[in-house]
Amino acid sequence: MTVNVSAPRAEHLDEPLGLGEGRPRLSWTIETDQPGWRQDACEIEARGERFVRESGESVLVPWPFEPLSSRERVPVRVRVRAAGEWSEWSPVTVLEAGLLDPADWTARFIAPPGEEHLLRGRFEVRRAVAAARLYITALGVYEAELNGVPIGDHVMAPGWTSYGHRLRYQTFDVTAALRPGPNTLGATLADGWYRGRLGFQGGTIATYGEHLGLLAQLEITYDDGSGDRFCTNPSWRCADGPLVASSIYDGETHDARLEAGQTWVPVKPLDHDLATLTAPSGPPVRRSRELAPVAVLTSPSGQTVLDFGQNLVGRLRITARGRAGDRVILRHAEVLEDGELCTRPLRSAAATDVYILRGGEEEEVWEPRFTFHGFRYATVEGPADPHLIRAVVCHTDMRRTGHFECSDPLVSRLHANVVWSMRGNFLDLPTDCPQRDERLGWTGDLQVFTPTAAFLHDCAGMLTSWLADLSAEQAPSGAVPVAVPNVLGERAVFAAAGWGDAVVLVPWTLYQRYGDAALLERQFPAMCRYVDHVALLAGPMLLWEGGHQFGDWLDPAAPPDKPGDGRTPKPVVATAYLAHSATVLAEAAAALGRDREHERYARLAGAVRAAFAAAYVAPDGTVLGDSATGYALALRFGLLPGPAQRAHAGRRLAEVVEEAGHHIATGFLGTPLVCDALTEAGRLDTAYRLLLQRECPSWLYAVTMGATTIWERWDSMLPDGAVNSGEMTSFNHYAFGAVADWLHRTVAGLAPLAPGYRRLAVAPRPGGGLTHARAALRTPYGPAEVAWRVDGEVLEVRATVPPNTSALVSLPGAEPFETGSGEHRWTVDGGCSTT
C-alpha cells in the first residue's frame, strides 16, 4: 500500500513567501491506492519541533506551534497515520513570514513632486549576499526593477483594495538580482485604480488621493550574517519618462523617445498610515497566456482589424519598426458591427493604447503595463506588423480546479464561455465587467456567481481579500456598498436585496467549498450586522418592501431603460432574500458553535418565511407576480408553507417556463435558481429544455451568435447581429453564467455535502438527450470526478472520491448509498430516460 502526502500548503497560497499570518493553517492531500483510506492522526514538524494531532483533519489544520515572527523562514512537513500505520514524511514546504507588524517598516512613502513617474534610489552591496527580500507597495500601481531588470512578474500590483483600510504589499526574493558594489532600485508608478478615472459612467479623478507614492524596503543578509537595509527615503530621485498617459479605462501612451536622458529631481516624503499594510491572501495578477490573431481583416472603412477569436481581458503586445515619432495606435472592442470595431458599449472608456517609436533599424516590442482592456477585436494603425501582434491575457493567477464537458458542443461552449468570463472579471477583484467605464466589484454579481467561481478556480485567497474590504466598508448601520471597494460614495451604501446579501452568502459558499471556518468566523459579525439591518428595514411585518432595489435585474421583460422592473415584484425578491440570508446565517452560527445566534436567526428566518407566505403566497401556492423568479425563489429558499403549496409552485414554475416557450424569463437573481428549482420540483425535463433552448433569450442563444464569454443582457447582440443600443451592453458579465453551478452539481452530478467536500454527492441526472457528461474538481482533499455515459438503456457512471472523504451516491431510480474514497464504476439498467 502506498500513501503519499503532498507538501503542505499554507492558507490559500501556492507561494508561501511573505505570509501575513503568524499562524498559517496547513493543508495537504493524500495519494493512495487504498480504497476507503481515512486519516486518524497527523504529525506536523516545524523548527525541529513535532506535534501530533489525533484528528482526521487535513484541510486548513491550525498551526500548532509558536507563531512565526516577521521574516521567519520555517521548513514544514507532515505525515499521517491511518489504521495504526504512519506514512512517510511529505516533501518540505518552506514558509516565510512577511512583515507582520507596522513597526517592521522603517521605509517611508515617497512621492514625486509633480507628474514624474520614474523613481530610483542607489545603494551599495558590501559583500556576498546570502539572501535579500524586497517588501514593496504603492499608492497607484507599480512595476519595480533592480539594476534595470524587472522584479517579479506581477501585473497591476498592488491591485485594488479599499486603500483607506487595507493596502497590500508584495514580497520578492531578490537575492539573485543584486550585485557587489553600486546597485539601483527603480520603480515606475501609474494611476491605476488609486488616482485614475474610476466609477460608474465616467467616474472621478483622484478617487483615493492626489499623489502617487512608493514604499520599498530592501533587506539584505550577507554571507557573514550581517545585513543592510535600504528603504525609500528622501534621498531618492524621480523623473519623467516614456509613460505619457495611463488609465485603466482609457489606455496607455508610451513615448519610447523619452526612455533615456531624463532629468532626475528629488522626491518628497508622503504621509500614509503604515498600519493599513497587509500581506496578500491570494495570488497576484499575472499574464496567463498569449493568443495570436485568428484573422487579420480589412474593415469596410479600410481599418486593419485583428480578430483573436476569443473575447478576453488583457492587452496587446506589438512588434514595430519605423521612424522616431511614428505612432502605433491600438483600439479595442468586444464586437464588430457592420464589420467595424463597435466601441459604443465601452461608453466613455477610450480603450486606446498608443506607442510612439524610438526609431531606427531595430524592432521595438511594447506591451502597455498599467491598463487592461476587454476585447476580442482590435484595430491597429501605424508601423506594427499585425501578424506579430499577440493578445496577452491577464487575470489573478488562481489555480484552475474545475472542469465540465458534455455531449452537446453548445453546452460545452457555454461552459467554456463561463470560464473565460471568470478569467476576465477576476482581475485582482471580482468585477461586473472588464471593458467599459465601470469594472466595479458589484456585490450582487459575485453573490450569484460564487458557487460557480469556487468550482472553476481556487478563488478562496482572492475573495478573502475582497471580503475583508466588504466588512471594512460596512456602514455602522450594517448596510454595505453595492460595489466594493466603494468609489461611488455614500449614495452607494444601502441594502439592496441579492446585492448586499453577498455579505452573508459569499463567506457561506466559500465555507462550503473550501472548508474555511476561520473565514466564516471572521466575517460573522458583518453577516449579523447586515441581517439585523435588513430586519429593521423590513419593520414589524418583516416584509422588505421599501428602499432602492435592483430587483430581478435584467429580466428580459424589463424595459431597456428600467432593468430592475422585471416581472417579479421587488418586495417578493427582497423578502425572499431576507429569509434566505437569515436562514444561512442561522446555519453559519450553528457551524461555528454559536448557539445563541443560531437560535436567534433561526427564529428570525422562520418569522420572515411566515410573513412571506402570508403576504405573497395564495392558499393554493400561487406566488405574487406568478413569475419564474418568484417561484424559483420560493422553492429554493423554502418559503412555501406546506407540501400542497410547494407542489403547486413547482407545477406552476414548470408551466410558466413552458408558457414562455422555454425561453429565459428571469434576471440576475432568478436565473441561477431556476434550473435547481425545476429539478427539485421533479421537472428535470423542463430544466433541460430551458438549458437547451437556442432562441433569444436563452443561454445558448449567445453561443449560437458566436459568443465566447457570457453577456450582460440576454440580447447584448440582437438576432440580426446588431449590437444592443442600451446603456449596459457588456459582452463579458459572469452573472448569467451562474447556471454552470447546476451543470456541475446536477447535470454531471458532483456537489459538496460537507464543508470542503469532505463528503460529496455523486448524483448525476442525465436528461435532455445528452449522452455523456463529466465534472472534475480538484477539491481541497484531492481530485474528484463524476462522469456518466448513456448507451442505449444502460447508464454507466464513474466516480473518483478523494482519500479521506466519502460520498453519498444517488443514481437514477436507485436507493442512495454511501461509499468511501477510490475509483468507482456503476451501471444502471433501463432505469433512466434520456429524452
For the segment 179-208, give every residue that binds ligand RAM (CB under 6 A).
none
Which stretch in 173-181, 317-325, 440-448, 636-644 sits in contact with ligand RAM by CB under 6 A?
440-448
Q: Which of residues 239-278 bind ligand RAM (CB under 6 A)?
A: none
Among residues 7, 219, 216, which one has the least CA distance to residue 97?
219
Among 412, 404, 501, 515, CA closest to 458: 515
Partners of 10 in the beta sheet? 13, 26
Cα→Cα distances 586→503, 528, 531, 579, 589, Å: 14, 10, 11, 11, 5
* Cα 643 from Cα 658, distance rounded (Å): 22
Contact stretch for ligand RAM (CB under 6 A) within 159-167, 437-445, 646-654, 778-786:
437-445
Q: Which stretch binds ligand RAM (CB under 6 A): 305-313, 442-450, 758-766, 786-794?
A: 442-450
What CA–CA distance (Å, rounded) separates 345 from 651? 39
3-class secondary-structure state, position 503: helix
Q: Of the two residues 617 and 664, which places its CB atom closer to ligand RAM in the complex?
A: 664
| Least gap, CB of 555 to ligand RAM (angstroms) | 13
**DSSP bridge pairs for 289:** 393
549-580: burial string, b at 16+ Cβ within 10 Å, e else? bbbbbbbbbbeeeebbebbbbbbbbbbbbbbb
Examine residue 728 and tell whether it contacts ligand RAM (CB under 6 A). Answer: yes
In angstroms, the CA 8 to CA 76 distance is 7
> Does residue 466 touch ligand RAM according to CB under 6 A?
no
Q: Which is nearer to ligand RAM, 530 or 550 (CB)?
A: 550
Cβ distance to ligand RAM smaller for residue 444 or 478: 444
Euclidean distance between CA atoms 611 and 603, whole angstroms: 12
Q: Contact between 432 and ligand RAM (CB under 6 A)?
A: yes
DSSP 639-702: --SSHHHHHHHHHHHHHHHHHTTT-----TTTHHHHHHHHHHTT-HHHHHHHHH--SSSSHHHH
CB 61 within 8 A of CB 76: no
Q: Which residue, among 728, 731, 727, 737, has the nearest Cα to 717 in the 3D structure?
A: 731
Closest CA to 190 of 232, 157, 141: 141
Least distance (Å) between residue 442 CB and ligand RAM: 4
652 or 733: CB nearest ligand RAM = 733
Catalytic residue among 252, 364, 438, 473: 438
Nearer to ligand RAM, 670 or 803 (CB): 670
What sign does the CA torsion over 585, 587, 589, 594 have? positive
> Least distance to ligand RAM from the beta carbon of 573, Å?
13
Is residue 206 helix, strand or coil?
coil
SS3 at position 604: helix
Q: Write the CB contacts of 482 (distance below 8 Å, at least 6 apart in sequence).
A: 442, 443, 444, 488, 492, 493, 494, 496, 499, 500, 550
Give min distance, CB of 347 to ligand RAM, in A: 11
Helix (H, G, I), strand (E, B) or coil at 292: coil
Between CA 799 and CA 785 the distance in angstroms is: 5
Question: Using CB under 6 A, which of the segments 257-265, 330-338, 438-446, 806-814 binds ligand RAM?
Answer: 438-446
Q: Considering the complex, what minimum distance in angstroms separates the CB of residue 733 from ligand RAM?
A: 6
> How near is the Cβ of 334 to ligand RAM at its closest, in Å?
15
Is residue 550 near ligand RAM by the rule CB under 6 A?
Answer: yes
C-alpha cell at 814: 436507485
Smallest distance, Å, CB 470 to ligand RAM?
A: 15
- In the bound complex, what is the minimum distance in angstroms from residue 55's beta carbon to ligand RAM? 42
Q: Is 712 a catalytic residue?
A: yes
Q: Which of 142, 455, 553, 736 binds ligand RAM (CB under 6 A)?
A: 553
Its sign, for the CA torsion 493, 498, 504, 508, is: negative
Cβ distance to ligand RAM smaller for residue 488 or 617: 488
Nearest residue to 666 (alpha-carbon basis) of 635, 701, 629, 696: 629
Q: What is the nearest approach in angstroms of ligand RAM to the Cβ of residue 332?
A: 20
User: Does position 334 bind ligand RAM by CB under 6 A?
Assistant: no
Binding mask 703-722 for ligand RAM (x = CB under 6 A): ---------x----------
**Binding window for ligand RAM (CB under 6 A); candidates: 267-275, 439-447, 594-602, 694-702:** 439-447
Residue from 196, 280, 402, 444 that binds ligand RAM (CB under 6 A)?
Answer: 444
State which of residues 104, 445, 469, 715 lies at the interface with ligand RAM (CB under 6 A): 445
Kindly list the distances between the CA atom of residue 737 and the CA atoms of 170, 253, 418, 766, in Å, as whole numbers in the listed order: 32, 35, 5, 20
Pick 432 or 680: Cβ nearer ligand RAM: 432
Alpha helices in 403-459 (DSSP H): 409-425, 443-456
Single-letter amino acid code for the residue at 369: R
C-alpha cell at 810: 444517488
Q: Which is nearer to ligand RAM, 383 or 726 (CB)?
A: 726
Q: Which is nearer to ligand RAM, 255 or 712 (CB)?
A: 712
| Complex with ligand RAM: residue 316 or 669, whichever CB lies closer | 669
Site for ligand RAM, residues 733 to 762, rule: CB under 6 A: 733
Q: Which CB, 68 or 728, lies closer to ligand RAM?
A: 728
Task: Supply φ then ψ for residue 275, to 5 degrees.
Answer: -70, -15
Q: How many residues does the chain have?
A: 835
Number of residues binding to ligand RAM, judged by CB under 6 A:
10
Which range, of 166-174, 281-289, 441-449, 614-622, touches ligand RAM by CB under 6 A? Answer: 441-449
Among 372, 375, 442, 612, binds ligand RAM (CB under 6 A): 442
Query: Which of 226/348 has CB closer to ligand RAM?
Result: 348
Q: Which of 750, 755, 764, 753 is nearest to 796 (CA)?
A: 764
Q: Which of 11, 405, 680, 712 is catalytic?
A: 712
Q: How far is the CB of 563 from ligand RAM (least distance, A)?
A: 7
Q: What are the cell numbers at 373?
A: 482592456
Least distance in Å: CB of 376 to ligand RAM?
Answer: 20
Shortest reach from residue 451's CB to ligand RAM, in Å = 17
Active-site residue set: 438, 712
Question: Which residues of this chain interact with ligand RAM, rule CB under 6 A?
Answer: 432, 438, 442, 444-445, 550, 553, 712, 728, 733
